[in-house]
Structure 1
Amino acid sequence: MVVDLEFFFCQDYHSARQNFLAASKEVNASMQSLQHQQFPELFCDVSILEKSSQQALVTISGTHGIEGYCGSAIQTNLLKQQQHNLPRELFQVHIHSLNPWGMQYLSRCNEDNIDLNRNCLDFSQPLPVNPFYPLIHPLIDVPVWEQPQQEQFWTFYQSFVSKYGLATWNQAFSGGQYDYPNGVMFGGLSPSWSHQILEQVINSLPENLDCIVVIDFHSGVGRFAHELIFVAHSSQNALQKLSKIKKDKILIYSHNNLAINTDNISGLLVNKFAQYFPQKCLSLVVEYGTYNHQIMIEAIIKDRWNRYHSERSDRSEREFLLNWYSPAHPYWRKQVIAQSLDLITKLFSAS
């Protein structure tokens, strides 16, 4: 089958949404279109295929808004592949653009600068403390982000990594923080709208399910066009589903000086499913790599800088970020479509 890459990999939120809605209609999925409470033109759409199987697939796109263009392409393709690749009776829920503001305005974070993957916490409890982030924030909270500021930041980065190691840097920069609302990886001080939407979806899942595979699709971490699978939670019942997946794709990835452990990330979204279904759930964060570690750090800083120092309506200021998270290169797009379909086919193939 020839895949129309331009159809699946859209360049704007509304086109991606219309493709997803049309694909859902083609397979007679029931739809819930959840309108954003502040931006009525934006929606999180939930496509549900209510089948008899006691196994369920839940996919999520757009947790990190701008990364939703990759996830949306995967979800729309999955819907179009129903008759060819997926079990006929598989119960499916596809959550499209969980962070529609970020997808529309080409930002990882939501309208309040909240990183949804640091927001799924119990806010009645003390929030995690990130002791090293206060050293980083003054270097990126600057009115101008040009060569002198960039050189100062990267000099600090090299010194920090030399002293504490890359894993500590990743925890400091990427692990989440709750003290600087205008900083990177801010987890918020209360459940976001998207967090509440996710809980609604979880509460609507049938109680008779035996196994729930949750996949939160992302882009930007890892080698170019390489699929990387983080296992955030796995019940013993669901663990065998990973047996057909190549081991070099799973768990902790160390390549190009990248070392990430999901245990060190606070408020991870897919962990919400594990809280409700600890004995039934396989929770995965699946990344499709784009560019090297330092380029993606730069993208996160530039995203934050654009939010506070550029007009949101000036899309040209953000266009370059979209290519970093959803490259136009045909090889990258083909690999994303092929690998994601292969992953899900193997997860639900007969033992």
Structure 2
Amino acid sequence: MSAASHFSMTYREARDRFLQAARAAGARVNHHEHPLTGPGGEVLATDVARIGPKDARYILGIGSGTHGVEGYCGSGIQTALLSEGFGRNLPPDTAAIFIHAINPYGFAWNRRVNEDNVDLNRNFLDHTKPHPENPGYEELAEAINPRDLSPEAMAESREKMKAYAEKHGHPAMQHALSAGQYTHADGVQYGGREPVWSNRTLRAIIREEMGAAERVIFVDIHTGLGARGTGEMICTDPETADTFKRMKTWWGPIVRSTVGGGSISSDVPGSIPVCFAEELAGREVTSGGLEFGTVPIREVTVALQSDNWLHQNGGHKNPKAEEVAKTIRDAFYIDADDWKEAVTAQTREVCAAALRAFKT
């Protein structure tokens, strides 16, 4: 079967395919059930499939759905790898762990954020300390979150953001829009004020599944930034850090650091690598986001704005709910075989290189 055949169009379908592939591959499967349900009343869960010894010293983790709707891509890749027998010939003392739908609510409801409107990849920080400030977001809050989706309101939003970019530069504009904010709970890129369910659950999974490991590599699959079907391995450490140097050795030019502006991603607080570093302190941990491009950034921005507007105006009960859900899904998932084959092939290569790294 082609890799494209393992991708799905709903969370329920994606979960069923993933679990079937995991069991067929002989994986040990654990379920972490979410307290809420999906659009059809279905169970939501973060599922974990493990191939390899329980006490493995070396672990390769592959994650999907940190940003909900981006799970369409990550789940398809995970299912394809399992179906291809990726874990059949692991190096000695090594395990492969697939963490499916880290944010199952966002995945099921076609949202990038979770049930609390929280961007999970901005939530992994110490909430007892003052939260990071984002003055650019504060200045642009009304433009980023337009009053409605009329052509006039969206045009006004674009003009305000364009003026900000012309004054401060495009990196500053991207930072304002995507670096997270902790003051507008109903706004885009909200990081939350406390650890959310997916944060707590992922930490528990890391402790349970990876606590005995000496070396851990985690590849978190994302979409939405960059050229169509092209992957970048995002490192949140500076280029002088050992983590970046390891990643560069293993994966070459696709590795870029968010520190200093070399990445397609802004340097954001509270992302998943923080979680892995904290839960596996004292071990060699290499965690990065494998980001695949979809559509032009302007379309991605409109999708996020539309989704947030819907959230503030009735959510799934709004007559525009189905239209907006399709808009955001199409911004983060390309339903085309060539794209699916390309992202799977690149992930396959990244994971193979990670397993080779354990031999050195």
Task: Give the TM-score of the pair, scaled to structure 1.
Answer: 0.90
**1:34 aligns to what?**
32
**2:279 aligns to what?**
276
Query: Matched residues in 1 for 2:145 and 2:271: separation?
Result: 25
**2:310 aligns to what?**
306
Structure 2 portions without partners, runs of 5+: none
| CA offset digits 1:31-90 (Å, max 9, x no partner) | 221111233721111112242642101121111100001010111122223256754753
Aligned residue identity for 2:252: K
| CA offset digits 1:148-205 (Å, max 9, x no partner) | 1111111111111111111211221111111100000001111100000011012113
Retained in 1: the 8 A contact 2:34–2:46? yes
**2:48 aligns to what?**
46
Query: Matched residues in 1 for 2:305 and 2:198: separation?
Result: 23
**1:76 aligns to what?**
79
Shift of 1:214: 1.0
Retained in 2: the 8 A contact 1:82–1:88? no
**1:209 aligns to what?**
213
Q: Which moved more, 1:244-253 or 1:89-98?
A: 244-253
Aligned residue identity for 2:269: S
Retained in 2: the 8 A contact 1:127–1:178? yes
Shift in alpha-carbon separation, 1:296–1:62, aligned structure 2, 3 A:
same
Residue among 248, 257, 262 paired with 1:251: 257
Shift in alpha-carbon separation, 1:337–1:86, aligned structure 2, 3 A:
farther
Query: Matched residues in 2 for 1:82 and 1:259: separation?
Result: 29
**2:355 aligns to what?**
348
Structure 1 portions without partners, runs of 5+: none
Query: Matched residues in 2 for 1:309 and 1:237: separation?
Result: 43
**1:127 aligns to what SS in structure 2?**
coil
Aligned residue identity for 1:178: Y
Query: Matched residues in 2 for 1:61 and 1:259: separation?
Result: 19
Report the aligned-residue RMSD: 2.5
**1:219 aligns to what?**
223
Shift in alpha-carbon separation, 1:167–1:195, aligned structure 2, 3 A:
same
**2:157 aligns to what SS in structure 1?**
helix
Q: Which moved more, 1:37-46 or 1:96-105?
A: 37-46
| Aligned pairs, number | 346
Identity of counterpart residues, as a percentage?
26
Q: Which moved more, 1:146-155 or 1:281-290?
A: 146-155
Query: Matched residues in 1 for 2:7 and 2:89: separation?
Result: 20
Query: Matched residues in 2 for 1:87 and 1:343: separation?
Result: 16
| CA offset digits 1:12-33 (Å, max 9, x no partner) | 0000000111111112222221
**1:15 aligns to what?**
13
Shift in alpha-carbon separation, 1:310–1:140, aligned structure 2, 3 A:
farther
Q: Which moved more, 1:107-116 or 1:320-329?
A: 320-329
Query: Matched residues in 1 for 2:64 and 2:340: separation?
Result: 16
Task: Find out whether 1:65 has 2:68 as its counterpart.
Answer: yes
Aligned residue identity for 1:90: T
Retained in 1: the 8 A contact 2:3–2:340? no
Shift in alpha-carbon separation, 1:138–1:119, aligned structure 2, 3 A:
same
Retained in 1: the 8 A contact 2:231–2:343? yes
Task: Find out whether 1:230 has 2:242 as its counterpart.
Answer: no
Task: Give the TM-score of the pair, scaled to structure 2.
Answer: 0.88
Shift of 1:250: 3.3
Shift of 1:333: 0.9
**2:128 aligns to what?**
124
Query: Matched residues in 2 for 1:106 and 1:183: separation?
Result: 17
Residue among 335, 342, 346 paired with 2:342: 335
Shift of 1:91: 1.0
Retained in 1: the 8 A contact 2:203–2:279? no
**2:203 aligns to what?**
199
**2:213 aligns to what SS in structure 1?**
coil
**2:80 aligns to what SS in structure 1?**
helix
Residue among 249, 262, 265 paired with 1:260: 265
**2:227 aligns to what SS in structure 1?**
coil
**1:3 aligns to what?**
2
Shift of 1:276: 2.8
**2:234 aligns to what SS in structure 1?**
strand
Query: Matched residues in 2 for 1:293 and 1:149: separation?
Result: 19
